[in-house]
Every structure is written in structure tokens, then in C-alpha cells.
Amino acid sequence: MSDLAIQNITYLPGVGPKRADLFRDELKIVSYEDLLYYFPYKYVDRSKLYTIREVNAKLPYIQVKGKITVLKTIGEGRQSRLSVMFSDGTGTIELVWFKGNKHIKESLKTDAEYIVFGKPSAFNGQINIMHPEMDQVKEGEVKIASGLQAFYNTTEKMKRQYLNSKAIQKLQQNIFSSFKGMVPETLPARILERYKLLKLHDALSTIHFPADSQTLEKAQFRLKFEELLYIQLNILRIRNQRNRKIKGHHFEKVGDFLNTFYTDKLPFELTNAQKRVIKEIRRDMGSGIQMNRLLQGDVGSGKTLVALMVMLIALDNTFQASIMAPTEILATQHFETIIEMLEGLNVKVALLTGSTKKKERTRIDQELQSGELQILIGTHALIEDRVKFKNLGLTVIDEQHRFGVAQRARLWKKNYQPPHVLVMTATPIPRTLAMTIYGDLDVSVIDELPPGRKPIETAHYFHNRRNNLNKFIKGELDKGRQVYVVYPLIEESEKMDFKNLAEGYEYMQRVFPEYKVSMVHGKMRPAEKDQAMQEFASMRSQILVSTTVIEVGVNVPNASVMVIESAERFGLSQLHQLRGRVGRGADQSFCILMTSYKLSDGTRKRMEIMTRTTDGFEIAEADMKLRGPGDLEGTQQSGLPFSLKIANLGKDGQILQFARQVAEAILDDDPLLEKQENFILNKQLKKLAREKMNWSMIS
């Protein structure tokens, strides 16, 4: 029994072709190994035996030990049920079966002792247990009925074939008894010893048959640690390989462009956080190694300015720079901000999007290749093959989570030697997740907002307070402020959503006749969209009714109110992003979340978090706890490139941290895992890369 991975479960006692098909179709379980790694989702403590006198209907799962006193079938045909009176000397309880009665009746013995396990309920004053588990008390087979019992998820289809949780546990037992020897170890002996970890064999047998909760915890720890260790090893090794193979453009100096900008142009003092991250980025770009850095900073923390300043360093070293944004609105806005900030500096900047005219495109193509054009700002259009730089030294990707990994990779190819890459995101990613999906990137964080910002006040209104809302909006408009009203728009209910949006637009026009209302949505032509945005940005309109196209990056500092309609339909981090559109100036800003009365618990929780805090990291952590990391917004598009079987990024931060440290120590000593003592790690990494994880996607 050496390779559990190729041993087909069809041949496992208790399985056979029919069940093997079910396992494959329902749970993608094919081999012994697959089944062994199908872990329980919960455990019930079966170490306690209740006396029947103690049992009441409020208790969760319980077990009692005793004998059958009466056994009879009541009723006829399909309506019939099996009723068993069961007693232990302290009292009597009724056990009831509606399904499989005949079979069960034949299997039960009145002279034997049983341990009965199930959920008690009450009917007509009599305590009963429906469909209990019955274990005849025999020497040597107490394993299942004592300690913690594992519960496994199964599907309806499986249950119909009696492949329930209990059956799966029996099969786990069959695996262990059908092969002699140990499950081959997957961690080096020295690691097991140093960190006092359970052997794989023991961890797996404990996870299915825990003797007590202490050993179970040890088993869980070993398996979680291993899972996270391999992910970290993989990410960090890729980074090592990359740093060896790829040299970075060496930006050795800061020159006139940055110096002049800093002394003559910068309209305000940089925050300390901005200064710090600029230093970190400069250090990378001057190190000779290619930079791959993630810049995280909450909405409004001033990432664009950081991007601009480090692009100027590229220019000072006679390289070109580019910045890519996910939407045309945002690219255009960056273009305008940057042009304005660089006025008089003699830097040539261009904007390239899907709607750039042909003539302009040709000019851009030419000037990029001649090197005349120094900064290119754009959307996805930037990664097309026809876009060729003379000497691209730095590329910035704004709102990185909106792009797939593949798109990021294409920017690498824009120079004979890849440019430095700075990816920016305002969607705060919890540390654990960043260490896992972006583990190959170095991380800089802007953890400070520019001074003078007042935290946005957030309120949650039900629809019946619309008149109050309108009064409030009127007050803000009369003070000269501007207002966003955002509607959800999702593809499945697109028609309805458009109707709501259009009605909202008309409604605002009706309620505020003295003010001008603009509207933007994703289906408008770029020129129309642009025009509507421009109206709002230049104060020609005071109210902007829109879909989430304005979610990302849009900057209109005079806007002080964000109304989010049907807020229940947005996720936490999307709400946070939308809210970040206001609070960009010195005035007090407000966010109002409008919902209907009927809210699910999850929604209520989201509204509660939003009204309580404006801290993006706190929101991201809460989001991860509420939804689970696989669902985390901002990772949906790239997706988690692997599935975790046992570790949970929301809860196992400490184990992850530990795994990371161990991985770093191993790789410091042996960067490519070539030493004999790391053979097992190398082999296991290859196996995982082949079978389980789409790891090539990570970097």
C-alpha cells in the first residue's frame, strides 16, 4: 500500500461500482486518498453517556445505553412505523423509524445491549428519538461509539443510497483496516520533530476517529499547517526563481522631474504614510531586482499621487511609465489629474482607451516607440499587442482586483526586461488573504488619510423615511454640495434594475426641480458617460444617479452625500468602495443606506458594520468572516487559485503566519529546495501542482 492516490475506491470494501460512481459524481472522490482527505465538518461529543432519566427534548445529540423492551410495528404499508421501547433502568424512551422499518426490525435484538445515539424530541409527553443510530455493545468495537464522533457532509442522492455520514465513517475505517502500514509521510522528519507535529498517518486517523478533543486539535493543526506551508513554499519559491531569472531596471537616481514636482508643484504636504511607501518603492526600484509590489490604501488615502511620483522617478532614469485603470471613467480622470499636476513640467502624457480615435492612436503608437511619449494612461487597451514602448520601466495597475492575473502578466512583456510593477488596491485585503493570494508580492500599506478629513457619517434608513432623506438632501444641495444616488445593477435582473435606475432619475428630477440631475450607467456610450460625469465633476449638475460604474476611484471632492438604494443587494466591500466616493473634501460627508424592511440576518449585520466603522481593514475582516474567503469580493475575478480542505483563512491567521515563517526559514537555507533533506517537500510540491492547485496562476 504505497500510493493511496492511485488506489481506486471501487475496490474498497463497502464501496463497489455503484457507490464509486456516486462518490465521483457527487464529491469528486475517486481514490483512497481523496476519501481520506474528505474531512468531517463537525464532531459530536460521544464520551458522555446520559441516563434516560436525564434526557429531555432540549438537549442536542445524546447517547444512552440500555436494552430493548418492546419492539413493534404500528400502522400498515407506507404509513407504518417501527416503535421501540428502550430502557436503562432509570427510565424508558421511545425510538421511532419511518423508513427502512422492516430491515431495522430484523436486525435489532431484544437480548443485546445497545448504545443509542440521536436527537431527543418530545411527542405527547413522551421523549423519543427518531431514526437513532444503534450500536450494539461489543468488545473491541467501541471506537465509533465513544469520544468525538465525526459528521460528514453528504448529498441527497448519496443519502438515498444509504451513503450517509455514518456510512462514510465506516468506509474511513475500512481504509485504515484494508491497508497495512502507514499513510506515507508528507513532511520531513526534522520538521515533525522540531515543531512536535503528529505524523500524517496519526493526524488522518485522528481527524476521522478522534479519541478526545486535545488530540483532535493536534491533528487539525498538523493538517492545516501542512496545507498552508505548501502554499507558502510554492509562492515564495516562485518569487525566488523570478528574482534569480529576472533582473530589474536599475533606477539609480532621483532627478529633475521628481525634484521639480516635489518643490514647485505638490499642492500639499505628503502624509507620513505616503512618504514611507514612496521610500519603499524607491528602494525596490534601485535594488537591481524587479519590483512586484502591492500598494494597499483605503479609498481616498492618496494612492494616485504616490503612483505619479514614482512614475516620475522612472522618467528621471530615462524610462517610460504607464498606468492602467479598470474603467474609462477612471482612466480619464487619472489623465486629467495628472496633466493638471504636471503642468509646466514638460512631460508628455497620453490617454489610450477603447474610444481613442484612430488618428490619435496612430500618433500614440508612434510616439511610444520613439520614446517621445513618457507616460501612457489607459484602460485594458494598454495591454494590446500593438502597444509597444521604447523603454517601459514602470507599470502601475490601479484597482488591481479588477484585472485578472493574466492581464497583469501581459504587462510584463512590454519590455525586453520586464518593467517594475506596482499594483494598487483600495479593496483592503485581510493580511491572511494577501499573504496567500498575493504572497509573491511585497506589500506597502498607506494606513493614514490626508489630514482634515472627517469620518463619513453613515446611517441606515428604511424606505418609509424617504421624506426625511429628501429633506436632508435638499439641505446639503442648498449648501452647495453634490449628491450621488447609486442603484444596483446585476445582469440577471438587468431589466428591472434599469427600470429602477430610470425611475430614480425621474424621481430626483421631480423632487428637486431647481437642481440638475445627471445619470450614468455601464450601457451608455463612452462619450455619453463621459459627458454626464463631466457635468457632475464640473458642478453643472448637482445630483448623479448611477449604477456602480462610479464605484471605483471617481473623485469629486465637493460631493458630500452618497445614497445607496437597495443597499441589501451589495456586499460589504462594495458598500465601502461606494461610500469612499464621498468624504474626499474637507466637509462633513454622509452615506445613507436605503433598504426594505425585510432583511436577512446577514444583511442586518452588514448594515450594522457599515454604520459602525469606516475602517476598510476592519470591514474586510468582517466580510471575510461573514462570507468566507473564497467569496471575498475583489478576489472573485481572480478567484482563489486553490481550494483549502481544512485551513480557513478567516480563522487560521496564526497558523498561516507560522507556516509562512517556517517556509521562509526552509527557503533561506535552500532557495530552490534542492537539498536531499528537502526532497520530500519538493516531491510533494510537484504533486500538488499537478493535481490539486492551479498554482501557476498565482504570480
Nearer to ligand ADP, 205 or 425 (CB): 425
Nearer to Mg ion, 150 or 311 (CB): 311
Question: Under the criterion CB under 6 A, does residue 205 sit at the interface with ligand ADP?
Answer: no
Closest to 617 in 3D by CA, of 433, 440, 457: 433
Nearer to ligand ADP, 171 or 325 (CB): 325
CB of 422 to ligand ADP, least distance (A): 13
- Bridge partners of 297, per DSSP, are 446
Alpha helices for 422-545 (secondary structure H): 431-437, 466-478, 494-511, 526-537
Could you give the CA distance from residue 689 to residue 266 in angstroms, rounded to a whole number? 48
Three-state secondary-structure class, residue 223: helix
Nearer to Mg ion, 326 or 553 (CB): 553
Question: Under the criterion CB under 6 A, does residue 557 sit at the interface with ligand ADP?
Answer: yes
**Of 553, 583, 585, 616, which one interacts with Mg ion (CB under 5 A)?**
553
Site string for ligand ADP, 410-449 (x = CB under 6 A): ----------------x-----------------------
Question: Under the criterion CB under 6 A, does residue 634 sit at the interface with ligand ADP?
Answer: no
Q: Which stretch binds ligand ADP (CB under 6 A): 347-355, 487-495, 550-558, 666-674?
A: 550-558
**Of 66, 120, 428, 450, which one interacts with ligand ADP (CB under 6 A)?**
450
Question: Under the criterion CB under 6 A, does residue 305 sit at the interface with ligand ADP?
Answer: yes
Alpha helices for 561-635 (secondary structure H): 572-579, 601-612, 616-627
* Residue in the shown chain whose Cβ atom is closest to Mg ion: 553
CB distance 477 to 512 below 8 Å: yes
**Of 63, 173, 301, 427, which one interacts with ligand ADP (CB under 6 A)?**
301
* Residue labelled with grid coordinates 445607496: 564
Q: Which stretch binds ligand ADP (CB under 6 A): 292-300, 350-358, 528-536, 613-621?
A: 292-300
Three-state secondary-structure class, residue 2: coil
CB of 596 to ligand ADP, least distance (A): 31
Long-range contacts of 156-161 (CB under 8 A, 24+ apart): 157/22, 157/25, 157/26, 158/22, 158/26, 158/27, 161/18, 161/19, 161/22
Helix (H) or strand (E) holding 699: none
Site string for Mg ion, 652-691 (x = CB under 5 A): ----------------------------------------
Q: What is the DSSP string of 532-550?
A: HHHHHHTTS-SEEEE-GGG
Count, residues near Mg ion per rule CB under 5 A: 1
CB of 304 to Mg ion, least distance (A): 5
Question: Under the criterion CB under 6 A, does residue 549 sit at the interface with ligand ADP?
Answer: no
Task: Fill in the amino acid letter for 554.
Answer: V
Nearer to Mg ion, 210 or 553 (CB): 553
CB of 298 to Mg ion, least distance (A): 10
Instruction: List the single partner that 302 binds among ligand ADP, Mg ion, none, CB under 5 to 8 Å by kind.
Output: ligand ADP
Question: Under the criterion CB under 6 A, does residue 134 sit at the interface with ligand ADP?
Answer: no
Q: Compute the Cα dihedral for 545, 551, 553, 557 and give only its sign.
A: positive
Task: Fill in the amino acid letter for 404.
Answer: G
Nearer to ligand ADP, 270 or 443 (CB): 270
| DSSP collapsed to 3 states, 385-406 | CCCCCCCEEEEEECCHHHCCHH
Could you give the CA distance from residue 125 to residue 60 in angstroms, rounded to a whole number? 18
CB of 275 to Mg ion, least distance (A): 18
- 224-283 binders of ligand ADP (CB under 6 A): 268, 270-271, 274
Q: Which stretch binds ligand ADP (CB under 6 A): 41-49, 50-58, 344-352, 549-557?
A: 549-557
22: which 3 cell numbers?
456516486
- CA dist 28 → 9, 37, 42 (Å): 12, 12, 20
Three-state secondary-structure class, residue 72: strand
Backbone φ and ψ for 124, nearest 5 degrees, come out as 50, 40
CB of 399 to Mg ion, least distance (A): 7
- CA dist 163 → 23, 176, 270, 319, 594 (Å): 9, 18, 64, 64, 46
Q: Which stretch binds Mg ion (CB under 5 A): 28-36, 154-162, 550-558, 588-596?
A: 550-558
Q: Are strands 320-324 and 392-397 parallel, antiparallel or unpaired?
A: parallel
Nearer to ligand ADP, 226 or 328 (CB): 328
Nearer to ligand ADP, 304 or 332 (CB): 304
Could you give the CA distance from residue 163 to residue 157 in angstroms, rounded to a whole number? 9
- Bridge partners of 126, per DSSP, are 123
CB distance 367 to 350 below 8 Å: yes
Could you give the CA distance from residue 349 to residue 327 in angstroms, rounded to a whole number? 18
Instruction: List the single partner that 274 binds among ligand ADP, Mg ion, none, CB under 5 to 8 Å by kind.
Output: ligand ADP
Q: Which stretch binds ligand ADP (CB under 6 A): 60-68, 293-301, 315-323, 410-418?
A: 293-301
Nearer to ligand ADP, 210 or 428 (CB): 428
Could you give the CA distance from residue 381 to residue 383 in angstroms, rounded to a whole number? 6
First-to-last CA distance in the chain? 36
Helix (H) or strand (E) holding 70: strand 62-74
Could you give the CA distance from residue 506 to residue 500 in angstroms, rounded to a whole number? 10
Nearer to ligand ADP, 427 or 678 (CB): 427
Site string for ligand ADP, 579-618 (x = CB under 6 A): -----x----------------------------------
Question: Under the criterion CB under 6 A, does residue 555 sit at the interface with ligand ADP?
Answer: yes
* Residue in the shown chain whose Cβ atom is closest to ligand ADP: 302
CB of 316 to Mg ion, least distance (A): 23
**Of 158, 204, 229, 299, which one interacts with ligand ADP (CB under 6 A)?**
299
Q: 74 burial class (0-12, 13-18, 19+ CB within 10 angstroms)?
A: exposed
512: which 3 cell numbers?
428637486
**Residues at the interface with Mg ion (CB under 5 A):** 553
**Residues at the interface with ligand ADP (CB under 6 A):** 268, 270-271, 274, 297, 299-305, 426, 450, 553, 555, 557, 584
